[in-house]
Amino acid sequence: SMAQTRGNALVQWLVATMFIITMLGGAKAVLLCDIESSKLSLCYAAVTGKHPPKPNAKCCQVNKHANLPCLCSYKSILLSVGINPANALALPSKCGLETPPECKGNLI
Q: Which of 36, 73, 39 is nearest to 59 (CA)?
A: 39
Rounded distance, CA 16 to CA 68, Å? Answer: 18
pLDDT in tens, 60-97: 998 888 888 887 777 777 777 777 878 888 888 999 99
Strand ranges in the chain using DSSP code E only, listed in sequence order? 31-32, 35-36
Q: Which CATH number fits the domain that encloses residue 91?
A: 1.10.110.10
Mean model confidence pLDDT for the chain: 75
Q: Is 10 exposed, middle or buried (0-12, 13-18, 19+ CB in 10 A)?
A: middle
pLDDT in tens, 25-54: 554 545 677 877 677 778 888 888 888 899
User: What pTM was computed for the model?
Assistant: 0.63
Please report whether residue 18 resides in a domain: no
How many domains, in total, are found in the chain? 1
Q: Answer yes or no: is 39 within a domain.
A: yes
- Domain containing 92 equals 31-103
